[in-house]
């Protein structure tokens, strides 16, 4: 138990379930989910990890009704720990932000996971300590964040609007050279995983890929 939390208090345990394939889930997250009396997560995660209905486990699917999810968690927290499953790593664009706005941080425990972004860099054997990580998932980064600088590496989350066809044009408008190497990383961790190496100028020649990870490596970076 976290020493900062009073004995007897229950916790929200935010468990990162990794990029998709259960083999990439850390054992601590698997154990927390296995033992959960109250389990919250996306519909796909619940279908995969929730116990049978007769078990008595209480579950709720995460939808756009975030206040409803917070109310469900708050209603069970006085009596039980609540395990919240999030894809990838909880610290990287997940429900953790909303949980921290609704509950005291000392009532939240986080079990980290492997994010799709982390796995994409790993697949390329590319260090990411100097990369800039941004998200086009339901948002657009500020122009200053996208601006080209020599040697720069970008890691980008995408959605169905900002894709492997639309983002290259945005980057070239921000000053990125047309011959910038672009890696399109799809279905990471699954059997049909695919990584395509192309350039910003030629990305439109590939089949459009949405909800993937893009990694752009400046042509003057030694890793290009």
Backbone angles phi, psi at 155, to 5 degrees: -115, 125
pLDDT tens digits, 5-49: 344 589 999 999 999 999 999 999 999 999 999 999 999 999 999
- Residue 40, strand partner residues: 60, 84
Backbone angles phi, psi at 220, to 5 degrees: -100, 10
Among the listed residues 86, 106, 104, the one whose alpha carbon sits nearest the alpha carbon of residue 41: 86
Separation between Cα atoms, residue 90 and residue 102, nearest integer Å = 16
Separation between Cα atoms, residue 213 and residue 118, nearest integer Å = 10
**How is the chain split into domains, by residue range?**
12-114, 117-217
**12-114 topology per CATH:** Cobalt-precorrin-4 Transmethylase; domain 1 (3.40.1010)
What predicted TM-score, i.e. pTM, was given to this entire model?
A: 0.89
Is residue 20 within 8 Å of residue 44, measured between CB atoms?
Answer: no
pLDDT tens digits, 165-222: 999 999 999 999 999 999 999 999 999 999 999 999 999 999 999 999 999 999 998 8
Q: Which CATH superfamily is domain 117-217 in?
A: Tetrapyrrole methylase, C-terminal domain (3.30.950.10)
Separation between Cα atoms, residue 154 and residue 126, nearest integer Å = 12
What's the pLDDT band for 223 if we cut at 50, 70, 90?
confident
């Amino acid at each position: 138990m976290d020493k900062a939390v009073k004995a007897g208090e229950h916790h929200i345990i935010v468990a990162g379930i990794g990029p998709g394939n259960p083999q990439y889930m850390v054992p601590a997250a698997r154990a927390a989910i296995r033992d959960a009396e109250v389990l919250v997560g996306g519909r796909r995660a619940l279908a995969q990890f929730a116990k049978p209905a007769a078990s008595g486990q209480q579950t709720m699917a995460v939808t756009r009704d975030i206040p409803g999810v917070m109310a469900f968690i708050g209603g069970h927290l006085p009596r039980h720990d609540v395990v919240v499953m999030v894809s990838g790593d909880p610290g990287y664009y997940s429900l953790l932000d909303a949980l921290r706005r609704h509950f005291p941080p000392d009532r939240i425990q986080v079990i980290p996971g492997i994010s799709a972004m982390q796995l994409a860099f790993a697949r390329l054997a590319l260090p990411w300590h100097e990369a800039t990580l941004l998200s086009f998932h339901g948002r657009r980064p500020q122009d200053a964040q996208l601006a080209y600088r020599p040697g720069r590496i970008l890691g980008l989350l995408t959605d169905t609007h900002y894709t492997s066809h639309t983002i290259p044009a945005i980057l070239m408008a921000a000053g990125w050279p047309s011959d910038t190497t672009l890696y399109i990383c799809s279905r990471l961790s699954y059997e049909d995983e695919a990584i395509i190496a192309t350039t910003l100028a030629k990305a439109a020649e590939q089949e459009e890929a949405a909800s993937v990870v893009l990694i752009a490596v400046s042509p003057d970076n030694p890793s290009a």
